[in-house]
Amino acid sequence: MRIVVAAVGRFGGPRAKSAPARALFEDYARRIAFPIELKEVEEKRPLSATELKTREGALLLAAIPKGATVVALDADGRTLTSVQFARHLGGWRDHGVKDLAFVIGGADGLDRQLLDRAQLVLSLGPMTWPHLLVRVLLAEQIYRAQCILSGHPYHRD
C-alpha cells in the first residue's frame, strides 16, 4: 500500500522557519514501512476565501492517485484513538488498498467536493493545529499505527 499525504502549502526551503517541522515529518516518514509521499499544492493567485477553498480542493484532488482511498483531515471529522486508527490502516492494508491518500486543507478547510470524496473524515481533536504541524502529527500516527499492528512496543495502552 502506498500512502500519499496531499497538503495545501509548502514546508519551504531548508532555511525556512518550517525546517524543524519538515525534519520531524521526514524522520517519521523514514520509519514508516509503507512507501509515503508528500505532495504539496499551493495557489498563489489572490482569490476570495470561497474561490481559494474551491481551487485548493481541485489541486488536492489532482494530487491524489485515481481510485485512492481518501482520508480527509477536518476539524468536524471523527476522532479516533490510536488503536482505532491502526485498525482502519490495517483494514485498508488487508483489503488490498493500493493507494491511501490523506488530504490536509488550507486555512479555510477543505472544499465540500473533497469531503464528499473521502471514505473517512478524520479530526486530530478539537484544538486547532498549524497546517505544517498536522503533517508531523499525521506521520507520527501512521508510524504509531504501524507499530500497533506489528506488536512493536512504541505504543503503550
- Give the pLDDT confidence of 38-63 residue by residue, as tens digits: 999 999 999 999 999 999 999 999 99
- The per-residue pLDDT of the chain, averaged, comes to 95
Neighbours of 44 (CB within 10 A): 5
The pLDDT, as a whole number, for residue 18 is 81
Q: pLDDT tens digits, residue range 110-122? A: 999 999 999 999 9
The pLDDT, as a whole number, for residue 68 is 98
The pLDDT, as a whole number, for residue 93 is 98
Kind of pairing, strands 69-78 and 36-41?
Answer: unpaired
Tell me: pLDDT of 129 over 80: yes
The domain made up of 2-150 has a fold known as Alpha/beta knot (3.40.1280)
List the grid coordinates of 141. 500516527
DSSP string, the chain: -EEEEEEES----TTSTTHHHHHHHHHHHHH-SS-EEEEEE---S---HHHHHHHHHHHHHHHSPTT-EEEEEEEEEE---HHHHHHHHHHHHHTT-SEEEEEE-BTTB--HHHHHH-SEEE-S-SS---HHHHHHHHHHHHHHHHHHHHT-TTS--
Domain ranges for the chain: 2-150
The structure's pTM equals: 0.96
